[in-house]
Amino acid sequence: MAKWENKIMLKEFIQAYDRKEITIIELSTKVAEYLRTFPIKPKEYRGDLDLIVEEFAVSETEEQFNDSLEMLYDFGDTEIGVREGIIAHKLAWIETVF
């Protein structure tokens, strides 16, 4: 179990791509724009998130997008703070499609 400091909501963008309303390049651009202005807490992680933003910004294929998303998942899974018993305090929940 985990307690999440941030919630990064990408579901809307990914669903639009799944419905073929946008291309993979448009999806990548939308995610990059969203993350670029996301108010990440704690602020000391902004630089790490900006590196991931740049990966999304240059993604032109589904494989590149998925690689960037995997980086974002790993970023979100970063433990911050102290565990509360069995509950880990993690950086960000990444909402995609479920």
How wide is the angle at C-alpha 70 spanned by C-alphas 79 and 65, nearest 5°? 145
The 10s digit of each residue's pLDDT in 67-98 is 999 999 999 999 998 788 888 999 999 999 86
Domain hosting residue 50, numbered range: 2-95
Which pTM value belongs to this model? 0.93
Split into its structural domains, the chain has a count of 1
The 10s digit of each residue's pLDDT in 13-61 is 999 999 999 999 999 999 999 999 999 999 999 999 999 999 999 999 9
**CA neighbours closer than 13 Å in the CB half-sphere of residue 71:** 18
Query: Distance between CA atoms of 27 and 35, rounded to whole angstroms?
Result: 12
Tally Cβ neighbours within 10 Å of residue 40. 19
Query: Distance between CA atoms of 81 and 57, rounded to whole angstroms?
Result: 30
